[in-house]
Amino acid sequence: MGNAVKTGAVIGTTIGAAAGLVVGFILAGESTSPSALIAVITVAGAGTGAVVGALVGGIDAAASGSDSQADAPLDRLRMSVVAQRDGRFGLGMSVRF
């Protein structure tokens, strides 16, 4: 397995786990189940996201067929935290082209 595939799998795992954790937390927050079940739903979301992310990242890196990496300009990336009407906070990300 090449370095690009490993790196793609690790990056995909990290992003997938984070996204899955957020989705699991949101789904668990809408549940009226006991807190132990809420924790299981959240962890299951993170685990599922990690597996899917690793597969997508590894396949994408293998398909690109290159071990070289290019720097991505982060000056076009904007992150923001927005207060929601129900008292929660939302995290936003935008990329300017």
Q: Read off the pLDDT of residues 52-79 as tens digits, 9 standing for 90 and up.
A: 888 888 887 777 766 566 676 777 788 8
Is position 93 within any domain?
no
Q: How many distinct helices (H) and strands (E) make up the chain?
A: 2, 2
pLDDT of 58 reads 80
Domain range for 52 is 1-67
Is position 80 within any domain?
no
Is position 76 within any domain?
no
Number of domains in the chain: 1
pTM check: above 0.85? no
Is position 61 within any domain?
yes
Cα dihedral 3/5/8/13 (nearest 10): -110
Is position 94 within any domain?
no
